[in-house]
Structures are given as structure tokens and as C-alpha cells.
Amino acid sequence: MSSETGETGTAFNLFDAEERVLASATELEHRLADADPGIRQGVAALTEAYSRSVREQRRLVKVSDRLQHQLATLNQELGRRRAEAEEALDRLKEAQETLVQAEKLASLGALVGGVAHEINTPVGIALSCASHLADATSDLQRLFAADDIGIDDFERFLATAADTSRLIMANCERAADLIGSFKQVAVDRTSSERRRFDLAGSIAETLTSLTPRLRQEGHKVEIVCPPGIDVDGYPGALSQILVNLAMNSVTHGYDPGQAGIVRITAALTEDDMVRLVYSDDGKGIPEEHRNRIFDPFFTTRRGSGGTGLGLHIVYNLATGPLQGSLSLDNLPAQAGTRFTLIFPRQIARAP
């Protein structure tokens, strides 16, 4: 109420001159009391019209004051809502970043079981061979202690030792290769450090870590990449892209029990850009989903554990750390899926 009174008082102060004019007009009417009736009526009509105009102006000023007050209130409310929206957006971005990091680690963790299973085979063979060699050595020692050793016994032991040693060495080397590849991929994917790396070697290491999962599903992998392409950039980002694309193929590209072929081809273009093409021969991506596959949280397997962040992460890595581009190529229906990644061989350093 006090606010409205203050506004009204302010409005009246604006019309001091008009009030003086009205007072003068009223005084003029009194002085024209003996004048011609037509003149008096004309002056009275002008006075009344001017008075109505002043009253209407006062009303408009009051309305304007009310509207300004309402606008100020709305602006305050809008500012509050905007602050709340910005705070909610910040929380959403933090939550999304948390989910993205969780998705990265989850995809890495999903490889651990497969790699562990893959390593179990050569380690198991090496252990069996070592046990067999230990038994053969024990038998030879027993014969030697009894002074009952013959040439045939010694030759048989040497043959056993040679065979088991060869098998132990081969399987230990196989396990070491698997561990080395997985270790390098794990380090790269959990690190954002920049380094120089051989493109063919990095692709091979990444696919080696994926081999157990792909083999479990019956899929084959073909890699075509000339040696000697030295890239100065972020191998972790490239590894994450390849892993997510491969996992996307395994999850969405094939029906249960259906085996396929995953192909990765890479080459250097004339303008010193790396052109990497990833493709599978699965069932492809429906036309109605093609424009949304890189959107965050878009998935066709919401109820089956899909987060919808895999390809979103791939796109952000391609356009962010790798400073390149990623596109989904148009292929005929049921002809599989193909992505083309293009990025500089020498990624520009941040200023």
C-alpha cells in the first residue's frame, strides 16, 4: 500500500503545471460570468476536455507505475529462475562428466575379464609344462641317485626338457605380449598425456586387448595400416575411440550367435591427415536413428544396460583431443556400419 501511495504521489507531482493550467481555466470561467453564453460554454468545454485529459494521463501514469513494478518483480523472479537453471545445468554437466568417466572405466573394466581369460590359457600351458618338466627332472634325479641311469633315459629327458622349455617360452611370451598390450592400452586410456606413437602399433595393441571379447563372440578383426605412420598426439583418445566402436558393433551390430568381421583401415592423406575407417558387416543403423547416434544418452538398449554415451564419447574425443572429424557413412540397408575418422598426424599444441 505504501508503495502504491508513493507512486501516486510521484504521479501527482508530475502534473503541477497541468493543475495550474486548470486553476487558471477555472478562474477564467468565473471572470467570464457576464460574457456571451457561447463563449462561456466553449471555455467550459475546453476546460472539461483538458481536465479529462489530465485525469487520463494520471491514470496512465498509475498504470505505468504498476506495470513497472510488476516488470521489476518479474525481472527479479526471472533472475532467480535463471540462477537456478544455471546451477541445475552445472550439476547436470558434472553428472554427465561423471557418467562419461564411469563409461570409460566401465569399457576398460569390461576388457579385464576377457584379457584375464586369454592370459589363463598360455599361463596354464606353461604351468603344465613346468610341472611335467619337474616330474621328468625328479625321475632323472632318482635314477641318477640309484646309479641306474642309462643313455635312453638321459636322451628321453633331454627331449622332454627341450619340448617343455620351448612350450614354456612360447606361452610365456604370449602371456607377456598380452599383458604388455593391455598395460599400454590401459595406461593410454586412463591418461590424457600427449606422446609420439606408431599408428599401426597403437591400433594393434588396442585390438589385441579386445581380441578375447571379439573371439568370444566369434568375430574376426582385419587391420590394414601401413607401418611407419608416426603420430604426435593422444593415443589414449584413439584407443578409446576404437574400443567404443568395437563394443558398439558387438552390442548393437549383431544378433546373439551371429559372427562377423570388423575392419580397420588407416592411411595418411596428401595433406598429412590420418584417415581411419572403421566398419563392420552387421545389421547397420536404422535410418531414423542416424541423426541421433552421437547425442548423449541416446540408446536403443535402455533396458538392457545401454547408457547412450559410447558414441557420444567417441565424437567428443574425435573432435576434441584429436582435433578431427567423425562421420557415419551412408551405406545400403543391412550392409553394416562404417565410420570415418580424420585427424591431423601432428595435432596442434594448445597455446
Instruction: Return the CATH number of 195-351, one of 3.30.565.10, 1.10.287.110, 3.40.50.1100, 3.10.20.30.
Output: 3.30.565.10
**What average pLDDT does the structure give for the chain?**
79
Percent of the chain with pLDDT over 70: 79
Indicate the burial class of 298 (C-beta count within 10 angstroms; 0-12, 13-18, 19 or more).
Answer: middle
Check residue 113 and give its pLDDT.
56
Q: What is the pLDDT of residues 244-262, one digit of tens each?
A: 898 888 888 888 888 899 9
Q: How far is CA 174 from CA 53, 113, 163, 281, 311, in A?
A: 99, 17, 17, 29, 32
Check residue 5 and give its pLDDT.
44
Q: How far is CA 308 from CA 9, 37, 58, 78, 184, in A?
A: 62, 90, 61, 33, 27
Query: Could you say which DSSP state residue 250 is in?
Result: I
Please say whether the beta carbons of 341 and 233 come within 8 A. no
Q: How far is CA 300 from CA 178, 226, 285, 292, 308, in A?
A: 33, 36, 11, 11, 8
The mean pLDDT value for 170-185 works out to: 69
Q: What is the pLDDT of residues 301-311, one digit of tens each?
A: 544 445 556 78
**342 three-state secondary structure:** strand
Strand partners, 342: 275, 325
- Distance, in Å, from the CA atom of 318 to the CA atom of 327, rounded to the nearest integer, reads 10
E-assigned strand segments in the chain: 195-198, 220-224, 230-233, 261-268, 273-280, 325-328, 337-344
CB-facing half-sphere around the CA of 57: CA atoms within 13 A: 14
Determine the distance from the C-alpha atom of residue 131 to the mean position of all C-alpha atoms in its chain, rounded to a whole number. Answer: 49
- Distance, in Å, from the CA atom of 290 to the CA atom of 286, rounded to the nearest integer, reads 7
- Distance, in Å, from the CA atom of 236 to the CA atom of 317, rounded to the nearest integer, reads 10
Q: What is the pLDDT of residues 140-164, one digit of tens each?
A: 888 888 888 788 888 888 888 888 8
The mean pLDDT value for 11-35 works out to: 71
Query: Could you say which DSSP state residue 346 is in?
Result: B
